[in-house]
Structure 1
Amino acid sequence: MANAKDKALPKLLVVEDDEGLQAQLKWAYEDFDVTIAGSREAAIAALRAEEPAVVTLDLGLPPDPDGVSEGLAVLDAIMAIKPDTKVIVASGHGARESALGAIARGAYDFYQKPVDIDTLGLIVRRAFNLHAIEAENARLADRVGDDKTVLGTMITGAPEMAKVARTIERVANTSVSVMLLGASGTGKELLARGLHESSDRSDRPFVAINCAAIPENLLESELFGHEKGAFTGAVKTTEGKIEQAHGGTLFLDEVGDIPLPLQVKLLRFLQERVIERIGGRKQIDVDVRIVCATHQNLEQMTADGRFREDLFYRLAEIVVKIPSLAERPGDATLLAKAFLQRFAAEMNPQVKGFAPDALSAIDSWNWPGNVRELENRVKRAVIMADARLVSAADLDLESEEDGEGEVLNLKAAREQSDRKVIRHALARTEGNISSTARMLGISRPTLYDLLKQYDLQS
């Protein structure tokens, strides 16, 4: 009977019908909890009972000891029952083709017979290491969002975004107009939805319109609606987006693209809270909360006469500036894990996580396209990945130099570097202090001192 110490050992299943080799392999792997099986039925029973992380499999099992049909049947069963198992198949002389075929069916690696115990031992240990990495990736992916979500759905561990979220939560139940300023891809619509869901209007409509995506001659109709016969093609009376959002929230994305003549009509609505459809004479009362967003410099546009100053101040009662992804150290890793978990489930279930080089590349990339670029790269990588761990090559990323401004003061440069590295490490380990300290090569007390010194959240 296995003792308590044995139960803690990594579990290895050896599927081999040669009794002499069975004994040799069991003796060679004293640091593993080894189970021996000599047939398909015994192998499947052991797989279900023991759930080993790694299996060594002789393809030549009875009743087909000179072929591979029985061994491949065992492999198929393992992949169906426990697909995360690392299966290492044995191939005889001249049977390399069969081994490669087994890898195509899900095997991790193969070894040549007669067995070299040391070589096989290296392959087995490498398989256990990879299984552990994948299991850790899965565990971290399950934890993504546990304590890292704000406004219900937005994932972040960065104080910069937490501050944005707190601002939005504070103004959610007021009636003030909110302007979200940020680069393309930073999540302006997600924040607008979060504001709506946090408000007392959450049970009413959230209506979004991208003012830059609609031709100028159609934008007025989209916003204010039109009466039947108001213009050629107006075959029925249609409510505009403002009217559709009655009682709820209207999100005007890229508000800087609204043409000046239409800005006048929008200003009148904001002042009087009534609209008239195109071709109509009836005034319609509308109760709606306005949230708008732009990546443009509206203050400069106002100075240049391209945006009405009075409209700007109506829309910008509260201005919220959204940091770029590069200004949120650690968030790229958190978001990438969440995206991978979602896309793998939908498109490529064999993908289980990121390889170390991918995590390093994600950390070091500047993300000019922000969260949208990250999401697109992860989605493409999951679809195209051949292995279970997405690599930097799958993401099509190469490390680049930090884009931060040059810091000439050594103390300031050291602090800036320390803050960034610590926050990246905290993101990698999901805030686990012991793991973070190990990753940084420092003791836990030293890490606690640094967290306190730099006022960093763990």
Structure 2
Amino acid sequence: MQLVHLSPGENTPSLKQQLKILIVEDEALFARAVMRRLQKADYECAHVESVQDARDIVKQFAPDIVLLDMRLPDGNGLDLLPFFVAKSAMVIVMTAHGEISDAVNAMKQGAVDYLKKPIDLEELLLSIQKAEAAAAQSNSLDYSRQRNAHAIEGVELLGDSPAMQNIKSQIHRISRFVSSDAIPPTVLIGGETGTGKDVAARLLHLSCSTNNNKPFVHVDCASLPAELIESELFGHEKGAFTGAINTRPGLIEAAEDGTLFLDEIGELPLALQAKLLNVLERRVVRRIGSTKERAVPARFIAATNRDLHEMSQLGRFRQDLYYRLNVMGFTMPPLRERAGDMLLLARHFAAQTARRYGLQMPAFAPEAVSMIENYTWPGNVRELKHQVSRSVLLCHNNLVTDVDLALPVFRATESGLNANTQQSALDSAEKAILLQVLAETRNNVSEAARKLGITRMTMRYRMDKHQIKH
């Protein structure tokens, strides 16, 4: 058994009481990497490699948060869950490929989150921060608003193009309905993946000055497991189903009198769409296993990259829910239609990356500027951000060149290519990228989608588009 106390770095100010994190993991190299990252974030850690050692160490090290591997040399991590839950520890489950059913069982038994290996350390840190907020407010889902607090501060829609000026004008008009005493209308935001729908939602939330201290709860309907989404949204009473060991409010309740943002609403299962419609119509919610209805004062904003009208015509989305969501709305323009904004955004993301890593703000070479302004950006603002951040870290002499950007293909204004040829070249490049990332992830579609910064549904759509078999 290894007990390691990690103290914060000498130059790292501690503004809060150190939380204790126990890592129950038999892969020593991975555990050490996690401990080093958590040290930088000012956490105190201990590491054990077995079920028995985990039980023993609690006598001298009472953890606030536990990172629990499912497969251990002397047993299953699930066996430890009731033990840690009884001691009021927050448990984050770490699972290998093919163990998602174990993760679902763990969530039902009281785990606060699960992560699938291989685990990105920054994603792990975000999950720990969620658990930390949940520990501070144990019978609430305020961790959802806490998770988004950093994203709301200073949020803005950058861009001076006519398309963005129109969006800002629409947001301003809609914001006038927030200040009244009446229940604010629902808003539906459309647009391709990566266009900034979540940023627009946060701006709508902040459009009323009284909203600054109210919760903003971001629900990604595409990422919530089907087995858990009803409980996550509506909450449940103790004993409502096997594993419901505590009463838990849902995300709808967690929004209180703030904003509930339903991202990728098109992925919500049909069975739950009727329940959501009832919430929107009657402004009440009932937890699973409860007979009591609770008022819902929150405003609702939904977003999607899919055509909900077409889906409703095909029976894949409730028509009545579509009309109820689409009381007011707008569509975020793709980056290719925002002439003049690309370079502004690129410089903003370059400065952001330079500050984060303590680098000098780089300049863009003329050929890089031309590439940025003429590339079609199929991944929109999200793709631009990732490519620019990467190029800032890789560039030499504080100068970003076209080689550093490494875009697969771009539309040169003087190339003489017609639109069909350009599109064909773009499609070929996109297919090549998909095949390369799938090969790198051994055909793991979910992992490939995460590496590309897109949803799993979008990944599936693009694979079908290019006839890539899986």
- Asked whether the 8 Å contact 1:183–1:324 carries over to 2, the reply is yes
Residue pairs, 1:388-399, within 5 angstroms: 388-397=398-407, 398-399=409-410
Alignment of 1:35-434 (within 5 A): 153-174=156-177, 175-199=184-208, 200-347=210-357, 349-397=359-407, 398-401=409-412
Which region of structure 1 is more displaced relative to structure 2, 166-175 or 179-188?
166-175
Contact 1:202 1:248 in 2 (8 A): no
Deviation at 1:404, TM superposition (A): 8.8
Amino acid at match of 2:281: Q
CA distance in 2, matches of 1:228, 1:399: 56
Over 3 Å off, 4+ runs = 401-406
The separation in 2 between residues aligned to 1:333 and 1:390, in whole angstroms, is: 13
Q: Secondary structure at the residue paired with 2:288?
A: coil
Separation in 2, partners of 1:253, 1:231 = 27
CA distance in 1 between counterparts of 2:253 and 2:267 reads 21
Question: What secondary structure does 1:157 align onto?
Answer: coil
What SS does structure 2 have at the residue aligned with 1:291?
Answer: strand
Question: What one-letter code is carried by the residue in structure 2 that aligns with 1:343?
Answer: T
Deviates more, 1:308-317 or 1:213-222: 213-222
Q: Aligned-pair distance for 1:218?
A: 1.0
User: What amino acid is aligned across from residue 395 of structure 1 in structure 2?
Assistant: L
Q: Which residue matches 1:13?
A: none
Contact 1:250 1:290 in 2 (8 A): yes
CA change 1:268–1:191 in 2 (3 A) is same
Mark the structure with the bigger radius of gyration.
1
User: TM-score, normalised to structure 2's length?
Assistant: 0.53
Distance 1:369 1:404 in 2: 22
Determine if contact 1:182/1:324 at 8 Å carries over to the other structure.
Answer: yes
Residue 227 of structure 2 aligns to a residue whose secondary structure is helix
| TM score, norm. by length of structure 1 | 0.54
Task: Tell whether the 8 Å contact from 2:195 to 2:333 is kept in structure 1 after alignment.
Answer: yes
1:204–1:248 contact (8 Å) kept in structure 2:
yes
- Which deviations, in whole Å up to 9, do the C-alpha atoms of 1:163-207 show, x marking residues without a partner? 111111111242111100000000000000000001243331111
CA shift for structure 1 position 401: 5.0
Alpha-carbon offset, residue 272 of structure 1:
0.5
Runs (5+) with no aligned partner, structure 1: 1-150, 407-458
| Code of the aligned partner of 1:181 | G
Moved more, 232-241 or 376-385: 232-241
Question: What letter matches 1:198 in structure 2?
Answer: S
Aligned-CA RMSD value: 1.8
1:71-100, CA deviations, whole angstroms, 9 ceiling, x for partnerless residues?
A: xxxxxxxxxxxxxxxxxxxxxxxxxxxxxx
Percent identity (aligned): 44
For the 8 Å contact 1:276–1:284, the answer to whether it is kept is: yes
- The code of the aligned residue for 1:172 comes to S
User: Where do 1:445-456 residues align within 5 Å?
Assistant: none
Question: Are the counterparts in 2 of residues 351 and 390 from structure 1 also a CA contact under 8 Å?
Answer: no
Paired amino acid for 1:186: T
Q: Displacement, 1:297?
A: 0.6
- Equivalent residue of 2:330, what SS? strand
Helix, strand or coil: the match of 2:236? coil
Deviation digits for residues 185-244 of structure 1 (CA, Å, limit 9, x no counterpart): 000000000000012433311111010111222111111111112122222111111101
Q: Aligned partners of 1:253 and 1:362: how far apart in 2?
A: 28
* Unaligned runs of at least 5 residues, structure 2: 1-153, 178-183, 421-470
Q: Distance in 2 between matches of 1:267 and 1:399?
A: 44
Letter in 1 for 2:411: E
Q: Distance in 1 between matches of 2:262 and 2:384?
A: 24
Cα 1:246–1:404 shift into 2, 3 Å = farther
Q: Tell me, yes or no, if the aligned pair for 1:298 and 1:307 is still in contact at 8 Å.
A: yes
Alpha-carbon distance change, 373 to 152 in structure 1, aligned in 2, over 3 angstroms: closer
Q: Counterpart of 1:349 in 2: which secondary structure?
A: coil
- Corresponding letter in the other structure for 2:354: A
